[in-house]
Chains A and B, each alone.
Chain A
Amino acid sequence: MITPLLADTTFVEASWVMIVKSLIIFIVILSIVPVVLLAERKLLGRFQQRYGPNRVGPFGALQPLADVGKLLSKQGFRPKGAVPFLYEIAPALSILSAVLVLAILPFGDVQGGVGLYGIDVPIGILYFFAFGALAFYGLLLGGWASGSKYSFLGAMRSAAQLISYELAMGLSLLGVVLMAGSLSLVDIVKAQGEIWYILPQFVGFLIFLTAGFAETNRVPFDLPEADAELVAGYSTEYGGMRFGSYFFAEYMEILVISGITATMYLGGWMGPGPSWLDPIWMLAKMGVVTFFFIWIRATLPRFRYDQLMSFGWKILIPLATLNILVTAILVVVI
């Protein structure tokens, strides 16, 4: 049976295949999140000349489980000044917007009648931007509805930061889209058969990665939750699993940005070996980018707020525009 689809897709499958696929992608990525969490704490430890977690389980491997257990068993607490409904729904929005993007990450081409991706839509990368834009509401509503000054300031910072860096992010990806001639992520990976776009689009790659750090509120752009000034920014008033949701959403978003980076610039699923290795290659590339995220966190200090703004508007956006101009001219000439 073919399901009626709301959008054109290049490849249509039976609906049960789609459901199974979605479940597999979700479960795999979901089980990677705690691994990333542990890897981050372990690596940070090594970067800082200490061991990192090593008490729970062998080599501290059960630490994330212990953390989740602790968060789950905590009381669901709402501060007095908080707005009931919005306070509760905000962390869920954050997770939703990150998880939905997983649908378009390609882990391989069509193999044995099944496309190794959630769905391949012609609007492709725009889908990522649509849900990236909605991620903002999770942070802002959480910060605003908490009824606390620190939360509110954190939310406002995240709003300003998100608007500033979303532009640079979109512009930097346009170079790739121009070269591939398609918005679809599957087509973009296929277009990288000869050369990965990290080489011809190196400037775009740097801009995208920088903007990616800003979008995920990671060091050096973690001003929305700058702990020295704002306690914990938008998540100050959250505890228990609601705080856990924000935490989870942050790592999910890191994985999503890593996935988009791997797809757009690092050749996606392409790699030597038989075709069944494709998803492994994709996951490995995501891992490399995620490692880079952690490395940067251990290396760079936090920006000052005015530096953040002038860097975004006066350096990144003009540079990204120039990158598109040069790419467009080269694409037409060659």
Chain B
Amino acid sequence: MLEVLFFLAAIGALGGAVGVVFLKNPFYSVLSLVVHLIFLAVLFLLLEAQFLAAAQIVVYAGAVMVIYVFVAAYVGGIEEPLFDPIPRLRVLGPVLAAAIFIEISIAVLGSSLVALGTEGASDLEAGFGTPASIGLLLLEDFLIAFEVASLLLLVTAVAAIVLAGRKPGEEGVES
């Protein structure tokens, strides 16, 4: 049962991710990203990370992607060329891609492959992955990191408003 669910979710997540890159219409790309995120939430559920799964759907599929879909529906509909090389990135692109590939390979070979043959952690403490345990971690053990991260998000939000909101009297803004 769990194995079937895992493979369904994994195939769905991979398919969604591939679709994002290979679909030509931006609107479909965004939709396939939504599919990917939903299957990712199922994978989180399989890992007993229930709060993370719910947060994933609420925040990403429910809020972030809504804005993506909103924008893509307005300006999308144009078939973008699949590969449109920007001159300067012709060299830098492959180098960065290779770097990321090596990095991920090291991570996979180092940890994930070792765990493949095992049964996984069977002695999870009670309440693992619940909102209560995550809340304790975020607001007791890692309070400073949590607050720094929220401060960073606040700065980004303020910056976005400053960049987007032009003062009255500037060019192209009425009163």
Q: List chain A positions with a Cβ less than 8 A from chain B.
A: 4, 6-8, 121-123, 126-127, 129-130, 132-134, 136-137, 140-141, 144, 152, 155-156, 159-160, 162-163, 166, 183
**Chain B residues in 8 Å Cβ range of A127:** 54
**Chain B residues in 8 Å Cβ range of A6:** 5, 45-46, 48, 50
Judge whether B66 and A126 touch: CB under 8 Å: no
| B62 interface neighbour in A7, A129, A140, Cβ under 8 Å | A129
| B70 interface neighbour in A8, A129, A132, A156, Cβ under 8 Å | A156
Judge whether B130 and A122 touch: CB under 8 Å: yes
CB distance from B165 to the nearest CB of A (A): 14
**Chain B residues in 8 Å Cβ range of A159:** 66, 69-70
- Closest residue of chain A to B60, judged by CB? A133
**Chain A residues in 8 Å Cβ range of B16:** none
Interface of A is mostly: helix
Q: Within 8 Å of chain A (Cβ to Cβ): is B27?
A: yes
Q: Within 8 Å of chain A (Cβ to Cβ): is B157?
A: no
Judge whether B62 and A134 touch: CB under 8 Å: yes
| B129 interface neighbour in A8, A134, A162, Cβ under 8 Å | A8
Judge whether B55 and A126 touch: CB under 8 Å: yes
- Closest residue of chain B to A121, judged by CB? B50
Q: What are 7 A-B interface contacts by the 8 Å CB criterion?
A: A8-B50, A8-B126, A122-B131, A126-B51, A129-B62, A156-B74, A163-B67
Q: Within 8 Å of chain A (Cβ to Cβ): is B73?
A: yes
**Chain B residues in 8 Å Cβ range of A144:** 27, 73
Inter-chain CA distance A290–B152, complex, in Å, is 43
Q: List 9 tightest A-B contacts by C-beta distance, closest first.
A: A133-B62, A130-B57, A126-B54, A7-B50, A122-B130, A6-B45, A123-B54, A129-B58, A159-B70
CB distance from A72 to the nearest CB of B (A): 29
Contacts A144-B27, A183-B131 hold; do A166 and B73 have CB atoms under 8 A apart?
Answer: no
**Chain A residues in 8 Å Cβ range of B46:** 6
Inter-chain CA distance A132–B62, complex, in Å, is 8
Q: Within 8 Å of chain A (Cβ to Cβ): is B127?
A: yes
Contacts A123-B54, A183-B131 hold; do A4 and B67 have CB atoms under 8 A apart?
Answer: no
Q: In residues 1-45 of chain B, which contact A (Cβ within 8 Å)?
A: 1-2, 5, 27, 31, 34, 38, 41, 45
Judge whether B66 and A130 touch: CB under 8 Å: no
Q: Within 8 Å of chain A (Cβ to Cβ): is B63?
A: yes
**Chain A residues in 8 Å Cβ range of B129:** 7-8
CB distance from A221 to the nearest CB of B (A): 17
**Chain B residues in 8 Å Cβ range of A141:** 31
- Most A-side CB within 10 Å, residue of B41, B69, B126: B69
Q: Within 8 Å of chain A (Cβ to Cβ): is B132?
A: yes
